[in-house]
Amino acid sequence: MYRFILPVLAGFIFFTAQSQTFTELADTKPRDSEAAWRGLKNNYNFSWGNTDTRYPKYTIPVKQGMENPDGGSTAIRLTAWRGERVNAQAVLYVKDAWQDVSVKVSDLRSGSHIIPSAQVKISPVAYVMTDELNKDGKGGCGHRPDPTKFDSSIVADILDHHVPGFTVEANSTRPVWVSVDVPANVQPGNYKGTLTATGAGSKPLSLSISIQVLNRTLPDASKWSFHLDLWQNPYAVARFHNVPLWSREHFDHMRPLMKMLAGAGQKIITATIMQLPWAGQTYDPFSSMVQKIKNIDGSWQYDYEVFDKWVTYMMQEIGIDAQINCYTMIPWAMNFDYYDKGSNSVKFIHAKTGSPEFASYWMPFLKDFARHLKSKGWFEKTTIAMDERSLADMQSTIKLIKSADAGFKVSLAGNYHKEIEADIYDYCIAFGQHFPTEIKAERDRQGKRSTVYTCCTEPFPNTFTFSAPAEARWLGWHTAAGNYDGYLRWAYNSWTRSPLQDSRFKTWAGGDCYLVYPGGRSSIRFERLREGIQDFEKISILRRELASEPQKLKKLNDMISNFTMEGKAGQTTESMIRNAQQLLNRL
């Protein structure tokens, strides 16, 4: 197919969100030629695609199940458990600009039974700028002050459900994401409906959708066992929406974002107990949610107003209430803030772990923090959290924490160290590492959490904006294969300066800093990650059910065991997910 490069022009598709507007950035990548687009039989085309593909904006989508560009696929059949969310992706592609486009779905019917259209979310997919892995292909870590040094392009990722009507520009493609939340109380059966696109100057274009609902039920996300830990950044929300920190407006803007996180089964509230725990690595630095005040006589007092507001909001208004991880006692830069009443100024103490200065700063706080947490009924849910710290630093700091209050829990995301394993309640180890079998069994017996994380290090699997969508779902299966309790990713919403347009950052590969977008917008990456979490829950249910059917259980466990780097060899991510999904629905 012939392609050529057009001059840099900004797209003219506008998306809105609560007074925020944005225009997609231009793409300088090669695109299908005018002649190729003119060769299409119809001006306006609507077909089913698949959720494994990020459809390029200026390319005719003729691959991955759409071999016939003039016809495409007009029907799709999905399979779901009751209570499950299933996703599909349709694609609009046009020769001439199509204005005032809207996409709606009918009720899905099976005889007299109905999945209401209100259970289906339709989201035009918007494009965001991304880049690539490091030049050696070994990951996405490292400073990137000059974006021109990395190959950049726009990719489909933002699920913009805010759009009431939109324009598909001439000679372009616009994906449409379709999410169906199957009610937990619906009758099993084959439910059929119609997806219809309407717009100015054309008759409606329709696609058929059917969902085979099986006689199995996935519980509500609040009851999922998967220990999901995506770190929240409330400071980014206040900056993006230009509202005062911790104001009612701030909490209102966070609500759709955090509700979406709760709907994926999030277990942990991310809290900060010191200024810049990660040395200001994000565009919006984290401040301390606890003010430490040194009085003129040298005594200490602590203000928990912000901490209490944040935790109460997340627990009572959002429903994330299993655990509070408080970062950190061992920051990247060993500088510790406090307000000095004597000089009426903010000061910092620089101290190493194990030093008298370190202990004199943290011991009074830890004792008072334990008192405060117990008064709120939160002590048993709270951990003092560290990430990627050395064994020696962890050993001395754990000793200090336990001397302040032996009941304190500790969490760590980092390398596995057998020397401190017994002291870590919530231990998240790096991708590729494993808990010894007997250690994991003992941790399970004690009710401890044992999880895995990925970050910028891994070229695969990952959730960069350029990562293959199936990689996010693969992570859920890998969690099951490694006998982990869940998964951690360091940034749920640490947005870049213009997150709706450009996911690149001065450090790390595009999308490393965030999984979702302002205004409560989901992403292809986040939805596929959520699918993997659902798979993990289905695996747990099936393993219990099949305990008395060893042959079926062996089939399931054999499939799960493939989801390691060794087991993946020679297989595509997409085919692995497809085969595994089919097995889950057959057993």
Q: Residue 337 domain-assigned?
A: yes
Give 74-105 pLDDT, tens digit per residue: 999 999 999 999 999 999 999 999 999 999 99
Of the candidates 355, 365, 378, the one whose C-alpha atom is nearest the C-alpha of residue 291 is 365
Same domain, 290 and 181: no
249-263 average pLDDT score: 98
The average pLDDT across 50-61 equals 95
Average the pLDDT over 524-529 and give the result.
Answer: 98
CA 229/CA 429 separation, integer angstroms: 13
State the residue for tokens 């390691």. 564
Domain contains 91: yes
Task: Look at residues 215, 237, 259 and tell me which one is the last residue of a structural domain.
Answer: 215
What are the E-state strand segments in 448-567?
Answer: 449-453, 486-489, 522-523
**Which pLDDT band, with edges at 50, 70 and 90, does 20 fall under?**
low
Domain range for residue 63?
3-215
Is 107 domain-assigned? Answer: yes
The answer on pLDDT for 16 being more than 90 is no
Same domain, 45 and 183: yes
**Which CATH number covers residue 170?**
2.60.40.10
Q: What is the pLDDT of residue 21?
A: 73
Q: How confident is the model at residue 147 (pLDDT cuts 50, 70, 90)?
A: confident
In the predicted structure, residue 280 carries a pLDDT above the cut 90: no
- How many Cβ atoms from other residues are within 10 Å of residue 497's Cβ? 13
- Mean pLDDT (whole number) for 280-288: 95
Instruction: Tell me how many domains the chain contains.
Output: 2
Among 215, 241, 264, the domain boundary falls at 215
Residue 372 in this model has a pLDDT that exceeds 70 = yes
Query: Do 323 and 447 reside in the same domain of the chain?
Result: yes
pLDDT of residue 165: 87
The more confident residue out of 2 and 235 is: 235
Residue 309 domain flag:
yes
Quote the pLDDT of residue 162. Answer: 73
Residue 138 has pLDDT above 80, yes or no: yes
Domain shared by 345 and 207, yes or no: no
Specify whether 323 is located in the same domain as 406: yes
Specify whether the CB–CB gap between 522 and 516 falls below 8 A.
yes
Among 215, 241, 270, the domain-final residue is 215
CATH, residue 274: 3.20.20
Query: Looking at the structure, do residues 355 and 477 belong to the same domain, yes or no?
Result: yes
State pTM to two decimals. 0.95
CA gap 107, 287 in Å, rounded: 47
Q: What DSSP string describes 327-370?
A: E-SS-SS-EEEEEETTTTEEEEEE--TTSHHHHHHHHHHHHHHH
316 within domain boundaries:
yes
Rounded percentage of the chain residues whose pLDDT exceeds 90: 92
Task: Work out the mean pLDDT of the chain and round it to a whole number.
Answer: 94
At 334-362, the pLDDT tens digits run: 999 999 999 999 999 999 999 999 999 99
- pLDDT at residue 123 tops 60: yes
> Does one domain contain both 205 and 256?
no
Q: Which segment of 4-8, 202-206, 314-318, 407-411 scores lowest on mean pLDDT?
A: 4-8
Tell me, yes or no, whether 460 and 357 share the same domain: yes
According to the model, what pLDDT value does residue 8 have?
35
Q: Give the mean model confidence (pLDDT) for residues 515-542.
A: 98
Instruction: Please report whether residue 265 resides in a domain.
Output: yes
Q: What is the mean pLDDT of residues 117-121?
A: 98
pLDDT of residue 243: 98
Mean pLDDT, residues 7-26: 57
* pLDDT confidence bin for 11, thresholds 50/70/90: very low
pLDDT of residue 71: 55
Q: Flag whether pLDDT at 244 surpasses 80.
A: yes
Q: What pLDDT sits at residue 391?
A: 98
pLDDT-based confidence at 17, cuts 50/70/90? very low
Q: What integer pLDDT is reported at residue 164 of this predicted model?
A: 79
Residue 61 counted as domain residue: yes
Which amino acid would we find at residue 450?
S
The predicted pLDDT at position 14 comes to 43
Give CA–CA dist 587/464, Å, rounded.
33
Same-domain status, 233 and 203: no
Check whether residue 408 and residue 461 sit in a common domain: yes
122, 239: one domain: no
Residue 10 pLDDT exceeds 60:
no
pLDDT in tens, 32-43: 999 999 999 999
Q: With respect to residue 220, please indicate whether it lies within any of the assigned structural domains.
A: no
pLDDT of residue 72: 65
Rounded Cα–Cα distance for residues 381 and 386 (Å): 16
Instruction: Please check whether residues 151 and 287 belong to one and the same domain.
Output: no
pLDDT at 1 over 60: no
Count Cβ atoms below 10 Å from residue 217 Cβ, excluding itself.
16
